[in-house]
Amino acid sequence: RLTGHTRGVSSIDWSPDGSMLLSASGNRVWVWDMNTGAFVRHFTHRRQPVLAVAWLPDGVRFVCGGADKSISMWHVEDGCECRWKVDQVTDLKVSQTGNHVVALCRERRLATLNLDSGTCWYADDGQKATAMAL
């Protein structure tokens, strides 16, 4: 039983090996050990709600994005954070290689973030994304 959230859960994602679960609630991301059901730790993502979470393939880092118009990458063990400014994120996915994050932004634009170089670009062909989730 996953207890402790003080607000509704907006996003969840299983770790690549299925042993841990991320849950976003309010401005926090919670990490759970699914072998025991125990809370591991939480990460605070500024003041605005987190709307999307996703594990990287290495299973020790994850990304999250939300209403504060940023994507953060966190390391579960040491809590180290990297942050990039984008539009408000409503959903995101990580590439199988773990090098790129694609974010669906509120303005219905797709943002692609290269985690190696830190560069971000938008699909800007004049079309708006029609999906609500990736």
pLDDT tens digits, residue range 8-66? 999 999 999 999 999 999 999 999 999 999 999 999 987 899 999 999 999 999 999 99
Question: How large is the average pLDDT for residues 53-81?
Answer: 94
Burial of 126 (0-12, 13-18, 19+ CB in 10 A): exposed
pLDDT exceeding 90 applies to what percent of the chain?
71
Confidence check: pLDDT of 126 > 70: no
Interval 100-123: pLDDT, tens: 999 998 777 889 999 999 999 887
pLDDT recorded at residue 82 = 92
Looking at the DSSP bridge assignments, the partners of residue 81 are 74
